[in-house]
């Protein structure tokens, strides 16, 4: 089932999210027994609003979860939908885990006002100190790790975030994507490192960077989008 569809009652403003969970049963407990109760949320909504003016809506693909976690069962979210003629902003919320999500139209629109690139500084530091085998070079000191991180931040700050394509996404934050470090960026980084590290250290650094460059590893760039809700003018 397409989970991006909604039904809007123009008479009373109620909104139902059409999803695969519409027919998920509920369970009650009585006298030590569990009873499965079949439900059909879509049918119940249609029955409650029989005779009303109902309009289909479809998500545009733009959404925003202030906590960053779309799959958090208690997270508030904002979802843009369209009826084909106009775009609306829905607010998703609920007070307790037991109740279904409520959807309401709110005034405003989602605006992406920035995209930034970051490095995974703490993860890189931990990997360099605890897990990577530097032989035959000596493990880098804290001072040398900090020097490498400063050079990496400098290189990352010179990259236009819009030119970097995500190759992986965060499970914890919908506003974060990970971008595989490409060969050109690696060459620039190691060229700058060559002025501050010994040749044997540079060989070890290249091995470290190239073995941790993928989108699920510590040298991947973090691409973060900044979204806000722009209030509509009245």
pLDDT, tens only, 67-85:
767 777 788 899 999 999 9
Which residues fall within 8 angstroms of residue 130, CB to CB, at 6 or more apart? none
**Pairwise CA distance, residues 128 & 3, whole Å:** 43
Question: Is residue 233 in some structural domain?
Answer: no
- Do 41 and 78 belong to one domain? yes
| Mean pLDDT confidence for 52-62 | 93
- Do 142 and 205 belong to one domain? yes
Whether 208 has a pLDDT exceeding 80, the answer reads yes
Instruction: Please identify, among 81, 106, 131, the residue that sits at the C-terminal boundary of a domain.
Output: 106
- Do 49 and 29 belong to one domain? yes
- Do 219 and 128 belong to one domain? yes
- Selection from 97-101, 130-134, 170-174 with the highest mean pLDDT: 130-134
- How many other CB atoms are found less than 10 A from the CB of residue 232? 10
Distances (CA, A) of 28 to 31, 34, 36: 10, 6, 7
Predicted pLDDT of residue 13: 92
Question: Is residue 232 in some structural domain?
Answer: no
- Do 100 and 124 belong to one domain? no
Question: Is residue 19 in some structural domain?
Answer: yes
| Mean pLDDT confidence for 96-122 | 90
Residue 47, phi then psi, degrees to nearest 5: -70, -40
- Do 85 and 159 belong to one domain? no
Which residues constitute the domain of residue 55?
5-106
Instruction: Please identify, among 59, 78, 106, the residue that sits at the C-terminal boundary of a domain.
Output: 106
Question: Is residue 62 in some structural domain?
Answer: yes
Predicted pLDDT of residue 31: 76
Length in residues, the chain: 234
**Pairwise CA distance, residues 190 & 200, whole Å:** 13
Whether 111 has a pLDDT exceeding 70, the answer reads yes
pLDDT digits over 126-170, tens only? 999 999 999 999 999 999 999 999 999 999 999 999 999 999 988
Whether 26 has a pLDDT exceeding 50, the answer reads yes
- Do 164 and 98 belong to one domain? no
The H or E element containing residue 119 is none
At 44 the three-state DSSP class reads helix
- Do 215 and 118 belong to one domain? yes
The dihedral through the CA atoms of 229, 63, 227, 94 has a sign that is positive
Residue scoring higher pLDDT (100 or 10): 10
Residue 153, phi then psi, degrees to nearest 5: -60, -40
Predicted pLDDT of residue 230: 84
Which tokens sit at 129?
């100190």
Instruction: Please identify, among 106, 131, 162, the residue that sits at the C-terminal boundary of a domain.
Output: 106
End-to-end CA distance of the chain: 37
**Pairwise CA distance, residues 65 & 174, whole Å:** 7
- Do 102 and 126 belong to one domain? no
Question: Is residue 88 in some structural domain?
Answer: yes
Predicted pLDDT of residue 198: 95
Confidence of residue 233 (pLDDT cuts 50, 70, 90): low
**Pairwise CA distance, residues 114 & 195, whole Å:** 33
Name 13's bridge partners. none
Q: Please state the domain count of the chain.
A: 2
Which tokens sit at 114?
């920035």
- Do 71 and 94 belong to one domain? yes
- Do 118 and 222 belong to one domain? yes
Percent of the chain whose predicted confidence (pLDDT) is above 70: 97
Confidence of residue 24 (pLDDT cuts 50, 70, 90): confident
Predicted pLDDT of residue 39: 75
Residue 18, phi then psi, degrees to nearest 5: -80, 120
- Do 78 and 154 belong to one domain? no
At 13 the three-state DSSP class reads coil
Which tokens sit at 233?
């003018």
Question: Is residue 234 in some structural domain?
Answer: no
**Pairwise CA distance, residues 90 & 81, whole Å:** 7
């Amino acid at each position: 089932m397409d989970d991006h569809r909604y039904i809007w009652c123009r008479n009373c403003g109620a909104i139902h999210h059409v999803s695969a969970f519409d027919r998920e049963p509920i369970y009650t407990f009585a006298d030590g027994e569990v009873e499965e109760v079949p439900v059909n949320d879509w049918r119940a909504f249609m029955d409650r609003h029989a005779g009303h003016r109902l309009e289909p809506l479809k998500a545009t693909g733009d959404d925003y979860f202030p906590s960053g976690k779309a799959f958090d069962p208690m997270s508030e979210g904002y979802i843009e939908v369209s009826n084909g003629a106009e775009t609306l902003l829905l607010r998703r919320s609920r007070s307790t885990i037991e109740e279904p999500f409520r959807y309401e139209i709110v005034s405003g629109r989602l605006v992406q006002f920035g995209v930034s690139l970051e490095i995974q500084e703490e993860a890189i530091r931990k990997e360099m100190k605890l897990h990577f085998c530097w032989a035959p070079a000596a493990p880098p000191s804290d001072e040398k790790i900090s020097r490498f991180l400063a050079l990496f931040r400098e290189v990352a700050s010179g990259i236009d975030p819009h030119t970097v394509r995500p190759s992986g996404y965060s499970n914890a934050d919908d506003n974060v994507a990970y971008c595989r470090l490409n060969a050109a960026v690696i060459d620039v980084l190691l060229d700058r490192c060559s002025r501050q590290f010994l040749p044997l250290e540079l060989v070890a650094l290249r091995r470290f960077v190239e073995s941790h460059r993928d989108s699920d590893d510590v040298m991947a760039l973090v691409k973060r989008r900044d979204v806000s809700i722009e209030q509509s003018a009245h």
